[in-house]
Amino acid sequence: RDHATSARLGTSRFGLCSDAFALLDKDTKKALRALLTSEGARRVYRAAAGDKATNGVCEVMLSDIGLTDKSGKTTLPPITEWSEFFRVIQTEEVWGSHGEWIKAHRPEFGPGVRDRFKLAEAGV
């Protein structure tokens, strides 16, 4: 998007699932909180939004789209249940994008990456 389009869209929103946030280490949580509430982030947003800008650069808005129950807890499945779906989708996408090149060049990958590409090539 360009700045004008971003400004017309209004306040930016950043959804972060609490169970995903809980998986982060302490230093990463601290850095993410600092980034999302930083004056630098506010300046970037104000530059894009002009007079329509607010200080609320990023807000957790899962409730806006019906992903919380009456108590405010998320109704999404735990992030640990998403990882297998993510792995399957990522495997298919990465093989679709890079499979032909990998088959043609057979590059050397580290053990984790190599294993995932072998699974992708096998269609697993």
Contact assessment for residue 61 and residue 13, using Cβ atoms and an 8 Å cutoff: yes
What lies within 8 Å, CB to CB, of 55 at 6+ separation is 42
Domain limits, the chain = 3-65, 79-122
Residue 82's pLDDT is what? 80
Q: List, for residues 11-44, the tens digit of each pLDDT value.
A: 555 556 666 777 888 888 888 777 766 666 666 6
- Position with higher pLDDT, 69 vs 58: 69
Residue 57's pLDDT is what? 38
Q: List, for residues 66-122, the tens digit of each pLDDT value.
A: 666 677 676 667 777 788 888 888 888 999 999 999 999 999 999 888 998 998 999
CA dihedral of residues 43, 44, 46, 48 (deg, nearest 10): 160
- pLDDT of 1 strictly over 80: no
Residue 30's pLDDT is what? 82
pTM exceeding 0.85: no
